[in-house]
Amino acid sequence: MQLDSGIDVPVLFERGKQLPHIRYFGSPLRHSDADEVMHSFAMLPPQDVQVGDHAFHQIPFVTPVSGGKAIEQQVVDGVLPTALFRSAFISYADHFAVLQPW
């Protein structure tokens, strides 16, 4: 998983396996990024996640849906917002993070 301070909801990418999509009514959730490109997302059932020694229970995730367009292949399984943690120290040079849960 990748950490990101700029998102407010956890995201999972399919990466070749089927994710358990919740059926949604009407159109998927839509969001515009910094380049004003519109993206669609489907809600996933809340899931338990283990990050190092920390367990998080019933975390709601979204996943991108293509809407007929190809979705760029991701090299990570998903993205977690740093807001899930009380504090986060990220060392980009040494490739590690120290996370303190709430």
C-alpha to C-alpha distance for 64 and 31, rounded to whole angstroms: 10
Query: Considering the chain, what percentage of its residues have pLDDT values greater than 70?
Result: 68
Please give the pLDDT value at position 70: 47
Please give the pLDDT value at position 13: 82
Determine the structural domain holding residue 65 and report its residue range.
Answer: 2-101
Give the number of domains in the chain.
Answer: 1
Q: Residues 47-76: pLDDT tens digits? A: 888 887 888 889 888 888 765 554 555 678
Beta strands in 37-92 (DSSP E): 38-43, 47-51, 54-59, 62-65, 78-81, 85-91
Which H or E element spans position 29? strand 29-32
- CATH number of the domain encompassing residue 20: 2.40.70.10
Query: Model pTM greater than 0.85?
Result: no
Please name the amino acid found at residue 27.
S
CB atoms within 10 A of CB 15: 12
